[in-house]
Amino acid sequence: MAKLQIPVIVLRGTAFERGQQHVSHLRSLIIADYDRLRRSAETTDWNRACAKAAASLEKVSALDSDLHSELEGMAAETGLPIIDIYLLSCFEYFAERRTGCTSAAISTPSGALVAQNWDGPEGADRHLAILVHEAPGKRMVTIATAGTLGWVGLNDTGFAFVNNDLLLDEKQDSLPSLVIRRLMLARPSVEAALDVLMSQPHMSGRSFILGDAAGRLQLAEVGPSIGLSRRIVDSIVHTNHPLFPDASVWENIEAEARHYPSSRERLRAARRFALTDAASLAALLRDRTGAPDAICKSFSPREPTATAFSVIFDCGQREAAIWPGQPDGSSPQRVGLLA
């Protein structure tokens, strides 16, 4: 049986209208995910999360009124309060199962190529959508779990990012990571996106690979105590432990070993690749060295996640190649942003 593709949904119009359209296409998944999230939290924990979300949402409104309007449109279409819709993008407020990832990127004369295998728990692939936002004067594509603001993305100026979880220290009164990602996606270049990362405190540890159409490529690691560490790179591979010394000081090594026992093995496998072009990145994403806990990951008792999607963002061409599920068993879906 052929593997199902990830639905590609084009959202057009104002931010409010795009939020409504997001829900109209994915209503059943969004309601199911909201119900699951609500059942997962005790009343005290839910009320605490709602209070944090209310304060955070005020910051979102001040920083990006369009993003706030998009959430309002989603809330109006579901009939849920905007706080409840927003909580779908606030995974840091809950004891959600963490997911591992492998990322890689190279700078080329025709623009950066930024790639990732996104690994998730069982069923994660069935809740995904490719959302193409078409607003007046701008376009962008995100790969998102239904009802959320998006995990990774590319915009029509040629800026793209991918992200890996790092287990550093935590802080609860900052903007959720998915909000920060969308704030970056509204920027035209690596340097402008770095301004977002530098201006916002972070709730938890993350690594970002940022690339743009000019071929600029930066690795950034962020956390509550380290703020932002960054480095200009020509090529990079990354998994789920920090590479910078100042971030490593804050790493919870025991938790990392529990949640991402394959992280260092995947990094060693990734470093064996000579990255030169999109074909070499695709080969890395398909790598099964150390299977099942490989770059191209399958479920295992040791680490119960599997690759839910893979992506290569071609910043120069403004195109995303997206593999549903494990990339060695599917063909890429291609989404372009140029008219």
Q: What is the pLDDT of residues 233-282, one digit of tens each?
A: 999 999 999 999 999 999 999 999 999 999 999 999 999 999 999 999 99
Q: What is the pLDDT tens value at each position of the chain, 339 positions in all?
A: 345 799 999 999 999 999 999 999 999 999 999 999 999 999 999 999 999 999 999 999 999 999 999 999 999 999 999 999 999 999 999 876 567 899 999 999 999 999 999 999 999 999 999 999 999 889 999 999 999 999 999 999 999 999 999 999 998 788 999 999 999 999 999 999 999 999 999 999 999 999 999 999 999 999 999 999 999 999 999 999 999 999 999 999 999 999 999 999 999 999 999 999 999 999 999 999 999 999 999 999 999 999 999 999 999 999 999 999 999 999 999 999 997
pTM, 2 dp: 0.96
Q: How many residues does the chain have?
A: 339
Q: HSE of 18 in the Cβ direction (CA atoms, 13 Å)?
A: 24
DSSP string over 150-184 = -SEEEETTS-EEEEEEE-----SSSB-HHHHHHHH
What residue ranges do the domains of the chain occupy? 8-93, 101-125+151-336
- The strand order across the sheet containing 111-120 reads 235-238, 101-108, 111-120, 306-314, 319-324, 333-336
CB 271 within 8 A of CB 287: no
Q: Which amino acid is at 264?
A: R
What is the CATH class of 101-125+151-336? Answer: alpha beta
Residue 339 CA to residue 336 CA, distance in Å, equals 8
Dihedral over alpha carbons 314, 213, 69, 183 (to 10 degrees): 100
**What are the DSSP calls for 102-168, one per residue?**
EEEEEEETTEEEEEEEEEESTTGGGGEEEEEEEETTEEEEEEEETTSS-SEEEETTS-EEEEEEE--
The continuous run of DSSP H or E covering 334 comes out as: strand 333-336
